[in-house]
Amino acid sequence: MDAQLAQVIDLMRIIMPMVAIIVAVAVGGSLLNNWLKIKNGYPLSNSWGMPLHPKKDGETSERIRLLTTENAQLRAELGSIKDRLETLERIATDQPSRLARDIDALTVDKGGNA
């Protein structure tokens, strides 16, 4: 019996590292697969292969709506700031005579009263 036990132990010493390596490669591959899916925007899948989508509740939908509205307002404000900056750049780089003509053109009456 001791000879058989020694053979089983020797066999286990050979097989167990191989099993550990196979398990480590499988787990590492699964982690890499999920990381690549998340990185590239693909939905994760469950054990049956069906995609897992985050659950949407009323609070999440409301928050998305508010953020979308705020994003639109900030884009509009950024557009007006770009227009102002363009005007300031034009004023700073134009010739003084042209700037004086533009200012004079803005006066309401020729008497100089705005």
Within the chain, what is the greatest distance between any pair of CA atoms?
122
Rounded average pLDDT per 10-residue block, the chain, 114 residues: 86 92 96 89 78 75 91 96 91 77 72 56
Look at residue 108 in the predicted model and tell me its pLDDT: 56
Domain residue ranges in the chain: 1-53, 56-106
Q: Return the HEC string of the chain.
A: CHHHHHHHHHHHHHHHHHHHHHHHHHHHHHHHHHHHHHHCCCCEECCCCCEECCCCCHHHHHHHHHHHHHHHHHHHHHHHHHHHHHHHHHHHHCCHHHHHHHHHHCCCCCCCCC
Q: Is the pTM of this model over 0.85?
A: no
Q: Report the alpha-carbon distance of residue 32 to residue 38 in Å, rounded.
A: 10
Residues in CB range of 46: below 8 A, 6 or more apart: 52
Chain centroid, CA 47 distance in Å:
27
